[in-house]
């Protein structure tokens, strides 16, 4: 092989490496939720999941906590809940997980995150609507595992991997599917995405705040920033899923503080 050939081969190798690197970065960056993340000073960090669920949901919350704790950058621990399941109010520095009969309003589950002016998540909630989960086709372990896993996954800063219910299941709870049998747990792509989101450290830890932030005070004062019953209280819809349903809402609290809410809807025929 002459020098010119060597240069050509070397250039080809560099091009392949660069393309591969770009592909990996793209793959890792394609289902983060606006790069929102909890502030923390070490990895892995620990996030508390407040248990405000009934005994019928305890095992699903435990499975979700165990699944997501397989991540190399975060651990979750289930602790006693600090809110009424019906209102499911947020608590600074943690995630409150709730189930209740929230009404025949169309949604199976919602996840909300509160963002401070620095872009860090300061608190979150995940709600499961028993109005649907108490009856067919959603009263199964498959659906409960899938939705619980997805709503809690959102509160870490993860988006969906796919939002077309008719597509082949991707084997992750962060995927919409009309049959979630294969979508009950995270997959490696989810763990890789978390590593990308939490690949840096911050100067503050928003996952262990003791005192209420202004954001928390606003909610606890009795305002209805995100209501379990009224969609308009989620703010304005800023994104639709593949089936043209509003899937992401934004509520502007002023001074750079916002609430984002992801919604997974029940099948139209079962509303």
Q: Is residue 22 part of a domain?
A: no
Distance (Å, whole) CA 148 – CA 229: 19
Does the residue 188 lie in any domain?
yes
As a whole number of angstroms, the distance between CA 125 and CA 92 comes to 11
**Per-residue model confidence as pLDDT tens digits over 134-148:** 999 999 999 999 999
Which H or E element spans position 144? helix 141-155
Segment among 28-32, 33-37, 85-89 with least mean pLDDT: 28-32
223: domain CATH number is 3.40.390.10
- The number of distinct structural domains making up the chain is 1
pLDDT recorded at residue 232:
64
The pTM assigned to this predicted structure is 0.81
In a domain, 15, yes or no: no
Instruction: Report pLDDT for 163.
Output: 81
213 belongs to a structural domain: yes
Show the beta-strand stretches assigned E in the chain: 37-38, 45-52, 74-80, 95-100, 107-115, 120-129, 236-240, 246-254, 257-265
Is there a domain that residue 123 lies in? yes
Q: Is residue 150 part of a domain?
A: yes
What integer is the mean pLDDT of 151-157? 97
In a domain, 182, yes or no: yes
Q: Which domain holds residue 73?
A: 31-270
């Amino acid at each position: 092989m002459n020098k010119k050939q060597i240069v050509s081969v070397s250039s080809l190798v560099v091009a392949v490496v660069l393309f591969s690197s770009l592909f990996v970065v793209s793959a890792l960056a394609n289902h983060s939720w606006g790069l929102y993340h909890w502030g923390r000073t070490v990895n892995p960090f620990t996030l508390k999941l407040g248990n405000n669920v009934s005994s019928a949901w305890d095992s699903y919350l435990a499975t979700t906590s165990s699944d997501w704790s397989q991540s190399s950058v975060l651990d979750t621990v289930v602790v006693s809940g600090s809110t009424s399941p019906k209102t499911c109010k947020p608590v600074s520095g943690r995630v409150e997980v709730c189930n209740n009969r929230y009404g025949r309003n169309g949604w199976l589950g919602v996840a909300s995150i509160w963002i401070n002016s620095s872009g860090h998540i300061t608190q979150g909630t995940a709600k499961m609507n028993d109005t649907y989960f108490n009856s067919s086709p959603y009263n199964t372990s498959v659906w409960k595992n899938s939705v619980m896993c997805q709503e809690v996954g959102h509160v870490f800063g993860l988006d969906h991997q796919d939002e077309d219910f008719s597509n082949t299941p991707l084997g992750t709870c962060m995927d919409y599917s009309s049959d979630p049998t294969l979508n009950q747990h995270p997959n490696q792509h989810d763990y890789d995405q978390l590593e990308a989101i939490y690949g840096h450290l911050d100067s503050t830890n928003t996952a262990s705040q003791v005192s209420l932030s202004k954001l928390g005070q606003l909610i606890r004062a009795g305002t209805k920033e995100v209501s379990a019953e009224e969609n308009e209280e989620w703010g304005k819809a800023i994104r639709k899923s593949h089936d043209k349903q509003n899937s992401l809402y934004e509520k502007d609290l002023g001074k750079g503080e916002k609430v984002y809410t992801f919604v997974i809807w029940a099948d139209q025929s079962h509303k």
